[in-house]
Structure 1
């Protein structure tokens, strides 16, 4: 569908928005598709838009963006939803409800528009930039709170779009601190972080740069999943190591 306009010299198009419940960390599911973290095949399709909202307010706004792109430009958008965050209400502590958000006012839809390929930054820390997406956003924000107590000031960049990558926004936030940790819940090989690191290098970023990912593995059932999936402890350890360089 995403290649129809190209091969028909734009005589035909196949606009659509495909919602996919994905990524890991959802308890009670295992094996492929129900609880998986493979997105490389999607990012390899020319012309496709891959949206990956993490928070509920972005989820609504980005869905509107995808629908508008399909309607006006015939775009094919894949909308990846972190299934593990469907019922999440809290961010730092039980009962804080800081992961909730009101549905955007339809009258102010233009103001809440999320352009394709634009990231969202949390905080203005000057010690480290964490670039992430999906479940990594919540984990990274929680880690940033812990690092703050250790006097390490972090800004967290939610890419929001995996294709096209928000390269301009990533580079701006990377240069703001001079250090970048890419937090990628997908696999080490073929994961999203490979493209992010390559984009930073291609655009001349020369500061300390590292990435943390999940293992090159299927996601097993039950607690065994935690042996291969990225964790907050892994993120924190990598952040401390990077800042010490």
Structure 2
């Protein structure tokens, strides 16, 4: 049996994210989930400052950070807008259309996210994972395919690893992998009753994280991605 690679272990410091980091992450969520689409205008600085109870200087710095990462662009006198290709300017992947290569890379990154989440998660992280799972279930019950909710689940899992750099890279890889999957294929999952499979796989990941079992979390995530390859005929 091939031994699983060891996780790089860094001392976990109890750091409180700055207001700018917290706001940048909050604004990133609707972009990653697709609630804010390319070219959509973000709320005004004043509206964001009031909504998140921060100063307008914090709002400007958070938007500047998202702009440097390629998620947002600003227009003089008009405000901030979601970039045409969110995150595309921060890092580029050239895989010649090979969807399996993207998903394999996603498995490597997210497996470490899952293993670290098993070691570092808080009770709040577990609640967020369960909430994301429930949101996907509700979306499917309402006749959808739960794509945005699926994206949210994987972002919450990366968040539970408590490594902001890893989380952002996982979000970037995940976005490109999901873009490679045609929505027509995702729609076919309903006919094949595969959405229940996805929910069960997410449940296995949550259980491993809750049990603080990094190896089981890694294996559950890798199985989930491998099943995704099979479901999409890759």
Q: TM-score, normalised by structure 1?
A: 0.30
Normalized per residue, the structure richer in helix is 2
Q: TM-score, normalised by structure 2?
A: 0.31
